[in-house]
Structure 1
Amino acid sequence: MRRRPLLASLVAASTPALGQPREVDLLLALAVDASGSIDPDEFQLQREGYAEALTHPSVLGAIRGRPHGAIAVAMVEWGSPGGAATVVEWMRVTDGASAIALAEAVLRAPRSPQSWNAIGDALDHCARLLATAPFQAAERVIDLSGDGPDLRSNRAATAARDAAVTAGITVNALAVAAAGQVTRAGEPLAETYRREVIGGPGAFVVTAEDRRDIARALRAKLIREIA
């Protein structure tokens, strides 16, 4: 994403003002894989893919088509057991300027120290983040992306998923996996996520072939989640 001068010029204008409306159409917690399997170049591609998707005109059109014309987004990085970290706090998105401000926050955020693949801990962290959000929405979604299955959580991904669904949260997933790649269980990663991660009404999994494909896959996923 090569729009840094425009990003910089619009950040101040899109900073949320005091007294802004608390009601939004969707609370969306983006849970992004930052585990040790991702090298610095891949990590940067991933960040840029998220920034590109969040500012895409089709995503903004989906937001404008909702009753409040607004969503709120936070970003979490996950990996280490008990180590999931909120790297971008809740931001309200209504238009191009506020989406660009969010994209800039995504690009600026320091990478959190992570290892392993503790998906269950990531889901628990996101559920707490949604419960304490400064905005209100009838729809609450955790959008988890990763390139591997749950390996070392303090709580199994299935248990954390079930608790989130019981709390009224939908969990969707983005599987970053090359065609033909299978997990140790002998199945595609998307199938593992379908069985162990997603849950709630209309929950779904999409697949990105690699981190260069994240922007496309995430864009389609965001439109579906928002609209």
Structure 2
Amino acid sequence: MRFLSRLLLFVLLAVGIGGAASAQTRSPVDLELVLAVDVSLSMDMDEQRLQRDGYVAAFRDAEVWNAIAAGANGRIAVTYVEWAGQVNQQTVLPWTLIDSPAAAQAFSDQLEAAPISRARMTSISGALTYSGRQLERNPYKGTRRVVDISGDGPNNSGPPVQDARDELVSMGIVINGLPILLKRDQPSGFFDISNLDGYYTNCVIGGAGAFMIPVRDRSEFRSATRRKLILEISDLVPEEPARLIPAQATASEASDCMIGERMWRLYMDGSRQ
């Protein structure tokens, strides 16, 4: 019995020491960044390719690298995730250390070569939860932790988006948004909404200094992606006050954070008739 007690104590100590050592040896970076990109079927392949190309071009941009080099550690850690429905998230590129122009170029090249997946539904909440897990389980220790999420519609699958947002914010994670409003004037799909930028502001982004930059035209993908990355890496926010409204707005100011779920129920009820 005494032997078993000592053995158990040894195992617990070993696990504790190993865990402490693991925490202490996590490589320091200025930023842990999850790029969470919508690949739901509401986006056509041209839009998805434009979205991907925006990130590919950004990591080849000298100003993006200059922003990385200007940090206290001069390096960041990045992972690229694609998402759609509640159970549709996949890591396209695992956590990668960007500590030189060559590393940024290699990340860009790998991203350019990777296939683009597609799936049904839109679970922003699922994407946020998945992204939060990636930030908790990686070999880097960032001064800041950010989820950079893009999408073209409201949450219509999984838990309420505001619950997932609040959970990440409570963990000290900042959520920034890139809402895609190419169909804002003439919504063509059942789940399109014209005020997606307001929805992202009030229901998706959160944390200290959180912001969103909308994409309103196909020609804006590259410039918007590049600008957002530079701001995130440099720990800056856009100057436009309208884009700095806290995600946790008052009830009178807030968008309907459950609009996607309601639209889905209406769609399903109609399909049964």
TM-superposition CA deviations, 1:47-102 (whole Å, max 9, x none): 11110012211111111110000001001111111211111101111222111111
Q: 1:9-24 alignment to 2 at 5 Å? A: 22-24=27-29
State the alpha-carbon separation in 1 of the partners of residues 183 and 118 from structure 2: 29
State the alpha-carbon separation in 2 of the partners of residues 28 and 134 from structure 1: 13
- Partner letter of residue 39 of structure 1? D
Match of 2:62 among 57, 61, 65: 57
Q: 1:197-208 alignment to 2 at 5 Å? A: 197-208=204-215
- Contact map agreement 1:23 1:137 (CA 8 A) in 2: yes
- In the other structure, the counterpart of 1:177 is 181
How many equivalent pairs are there?
207
Structure 1 length normalisation: TM-score? 0.85
Identity of aligned residues (%): 38
- Contact map agreement 2:181 2:194 (CA 8 A) in 1: no
Larger radius of gyration, structure 1 or 2?
2
Closer, same or farther: CA 201–41 of 1 in aligned 2, 3 Å: same
Match of 1:66 among 62, 71, 96: 71
The SS at the match of 2:88 is: coil
Q: 1:1-227 alignment to 2 at 5 Å? A: 22-152=27-157, 154-178=158-182, 180-181=184-185, 188-227=195-234
Question: What is the CA-CA distance between 1:46 and the residue it aligns to?
Answer: 1.6
State the alpha-carbon separation in 2 of the partners of residues 193 and 182 from structure 1: 19
State the alpha-carbon separation in 1 of the partners of residues 182 and 45 from structure 2: 19
TM-superposition CA deviations, 1:100-130 (whole Å, max 9, x none): 1111121122223421111000000000001
The SS at the match of 1:111 is: coil
By relative contact order (CA 8 Å, sep 6+), the higher-ranking structure is: 1
State the alpha-carbon separation in 2 of the partners of residues 150 and 177 from structure 1: 15
Q: CA RMSD in A?
A: 2.0
Closer, same or farther: CA 39–180 of 1 in aligned 2, 3 Å: closer
State the alpha-carbon separation in 1 of the partners of residues 162 and 224 from structure 2: 24
State the alpha-carbon separation in 2 of the partners of residues 135 and 50 from structure 1: 22
State the alpha-carbon separation in 2 of the partners of residues 92 and 181 from structure 1: 40
| Structure 1: unaligned runs, 5 residues or longer | 1-19
Closer, same or farther: CA 63–182 of 1 in aligned 2, 3 Å: farther
Closer, same or farther: CA 73–182 of 1 in aligned 2, 3 Å: farther
- Contact map agreement 1:175 1:205 (CA 8 A) in 2: yes
- Contact map agreement 1:29 1:141 (CA 8 A) in 2: yes
The SS at the match of 2:91 is: strand
Of stretches 203-212 and 213-222 in structure 1, the one that deviates more from structure 2 is 203-212
- Contact map agreement 1:144 1:174 (CA 8 A) in 2: yes
- Contact map agreement 2:183 2:194 (CA 8 A) in 1: no
Question: What is the CA-CA distance between 1:176 and the residue it aligns to?
Answer: 1.1
- Contact map agreement 2:26 2:141 (CA 8 A) in 1: no
